[in-house]
Structure 1
Amino acid sequence: MSDFDADPSSDDSDSYTIREELPAPETFAALREAAGMPPRSLEGIERGLPNSLYGVIAVHDPTDEVVGMGRVVGDGGTVYQISDMAVRPEHQGRGLGTRMMASLERYLDEAAPPRAYVNLVADVDGFYEEFGYRTVRPESKGMYRRME
């Protein structure tokens, strides 16, 4: 993790804080499930999270519950990927995704060298475009392979 400071301001409510840290593995799995994302094995989560370049969580201050997360993975020089952006449905619509994404973008602006490639897989239309991301089609196509 870096010494970069996450933005403590709130877009919608002062009852949430964006923290520069990664969720616990069990919280990571629960947030993915709550957001309707494909599950990951606990073994994979425990191996992968410590290899993150940067991460943020959204915390509901009254309950101290982690209700959102996002992270940057990659090689730290040429390729960066925004990954695992998730907010619990009951906490959506309060600007948490925007605040977390803004923190990830500030990290990238500070850490990524010129000509680095930043990518992501978008599940929400219109959200990431606000941060300057565009589809790769028709020049390229995204692909994946899930290990069984």
Structure 2
Amino acid sequence: MPENSSRSVTGPTRVPALLPTGYRLLEEPPTSEEYVQLRRESGLSPRTPAQASGALSASWAWTTVRTAEGVLAAMGRVIGDGTWYFHLADIATDPSHQRRGLGRVVMEQLIARIDDVAPPQPYITLLADPPGQSLYRSLGFVDSDPSLGMRLPR
């Protein structure tokens, strides 16, 4: 997708977000160092370089937003099987670049990539921390009732 352009990700009813001037949208992962740093700076749980390596190599898709100078401003990725199950993860925006719609652009790009390849009715999930819940709801995400997201603490 060219810089500063957009397209609908689920049809004509959704108005796509525009990438602000001065940013580039890329379908590539951040570096390991950038991944670890942006998770930390954006308030996500910290991860090690070894964990970053696995995330970078084993994800189904990545979208990043960089400044004109090449600085990582936002990121997101999809984990999944490429056919029916897709989990959005690591949606993060550097605090100095927040409130500009970058998270929305990342989300819409990832959803569009899923829609481009998946058969009808893919199962798209995410875990929504409080700061992102209004964004996710505005994109059509709903609570997974009666299912409940669970994890095994380690």
**TM-score bracket for this pair, using the shorter chain length:** 0.7 to 0.9
- Per-residue deviation, 1:44: 1.7
Q: Match of 1:46, as an amino acid?
A: S
Residues 57, 70 of structure 1: 8 Å contact kept = yes
Q: Match of 1:95, as an amino acid?
A: G
3-state SS of paired residue (2:133): coil
Stretches of 4+ moved more than 3 A in 1? 5-8
Identical aligned residues as a percent: 31
Structure 1 pair 108–15 and aligned structure 2 pair: CA distance change class (3 A) = same
Per-residue deviation, residues 2-29 of structure 1 (Å, max 9, x unmatched): xxx4764273631111111000111001
2:137 to 120, 129, 133: 129
The alignment's C-alpha RMSD in Å is 1.7
Per-residue deviation, residues 73-131 of structure 1 (Å, max 9, x unmatched): 11112311011000000100111111111111110111222233110011222111122
3-state SS of paired residue (1:103): helix
Match for residue 71 of structure 2? 65
Match for residue 23 of structure 1? 30
Aligned length: 141
| Long gaps (5+) in structure 1 | none
Match for residue 110 of structure 2? 104
Match for residue 50 of structure 2? 43
CA distance in 1, matches of 2:111, 2:2: 10
Deviates more, 1:8-17 or 1:78-87: 8-17
Instruction: Say if 2:32 is the partner of 1:32.
Output: no
TM-score, normalised to structure 2, is 0.84
